[in-house]
Amino acid sequence: MNHHDNQAAHRLLDANLNRAFEALRTLEDIARFQDQAVSQSKYKILRHQLRDATQGWSHEQLYASRDANQDVGRETKTTSEASRTGGLSEIAEAASQRVQQSLRCLEETSKFVYPSSAAAIESVRYQVYDINAQLLLSQKRDVAFLKQSKLYVLADCQLPLEQFIQRVHEISHAGVDLIQIRDKQLDAQELIHFTQSAIEAVDPKQTRIIVNDRADIVQCTSAFGLHVGQSDLSVAQSRSLIAPSCVVGLSTHDLDQVKHAIDVGADYIGCGPTFASNTKDFSSFAGLPFLREVAAFLQASESTIPAFAIGGIDLANLQSAMETGVQRVAVSKAIWGAERPGAAAEAFRRMLY
């Protein structure tokens, strides 16, 4: 290898190694601050794998080859590189492309200069493809809507369809953010009909529809997402069955389940049961102490995952629930079963917002 080729190769390796590390760190932090704990951990592991794969390289030659001031590429910028108006989603996509391209350059050039490291870099490159796909798919979900949501209503389908539609319309226009369609008695076709009717009845700027337990119903409608319990499909299994744009929420009953929900990438969590409920029977109650634990943990871990207190919450005990630090609630009878559902929803909103 002549001196000129050696210097040029080290210059290429140095630039792309820095570029790959920078892109991996960017993706890791995006995953971290969007509560994508699994992706965040994988990106961190890949950074260490890349560091180990290149540990035997001559860093003296890499540093000596560096000449940022004379790099002709500094002045060659596209318009898109100067702007990121698409927010974190656009940043994540740019970083994912950058790391993939850099790893390819590193792999090919290392075959020429440090051939023993090429296989390890290739392994990192293939892993990056999968992790990038997972993170970029998560960007398609409207988590921003979830994070501004505070009032969540669970609705059954036991009213005649016309009354059901009227009630959905009423509570949506009264300010309910999320409505979960939860009914164990209807057959699939009826549930599809009720769900799609609810989607069409709400104010789409104010309210989104989520379906409990039934990934097939979400798949057959334009529902916003799916909610699952601890004994239902896992978050990963749910995502494999529904559109990438759909959110997945998970019920939690203790702090370990909250931590697990964050680790597996749930988009929001329900926390309870807080009080005795007429909707669902529980042998024990996590209660207010659990809500305090959740609030303290989320604050300490800097997690922004939306947490909804659930279970027997009404206007009489709402203040007690909110004093735990959990500022979102999911209710059923207190709004859906109220004599004047719209007025009940407005009363909840006045306390929550």
List 211's β-bridge partners, or say none.
181, 226
The reported pLDDT for the residue numbered 36 is 82
Domain boundaries, the chain: 3-138, 143-352
The reported pLDDT for the residue numbered 66 is 84
The reported pLDDT for the residue numbered 73 is 55
Contact in structure between 328 and 348 (CB atoms under 8 Å): no
The rounded Cα 331 to chain-centroid distance in angstroms is 23
The reported pLDDT for the residue numbered 67 is 76
The reported pLDDT for the residue numbered 279 is 58
Residue entry with tokens 């939860």 = 182
The reported pLDDT for the residue numbered 192 is 97
- Would you mind telling me the total number of residues written for the chain in this entry? 353
143-352 maps to CATH 3.40.190.10: no
- CATH domain 3-138 topology: Ferritin (1.20.1260)
- 339 burial type by CB count under 10 A (0-12 exposed, 13-18 middle, 19+ buried): exposed
pLDDT digit string (tens) for the chain, length 353 residues: 677 788 899 999 999 999 999 999 999 999 988 888 888 999 999 999 999 999 999 989 999 888 766 554 555 555 555 556 667 889 999 999 999 999 999 999 999 899 999 999 999 999 999 999 888 888 888 888 999 999 999 999 999 999 999 999 999 999 999 999 999 999 999 999 999 999 999 999 999 999 999 999 999 999 999 999 999 999 999 999 999 899 999 999 999 999 999 988 899 999 999 998 765 655 567 899 999 999 999 999 989 999 999 999 999 999 999 999 999 999 999 999 999 999 999 999 999 99
Neighbours of 324 (CB within 10 A): 20
The reported pLDDT for the residue numbered 72 is 47
Secondary structure class of 197 (helix, strand, coil)? helix
3-138 against 143-352: fold identical:
no
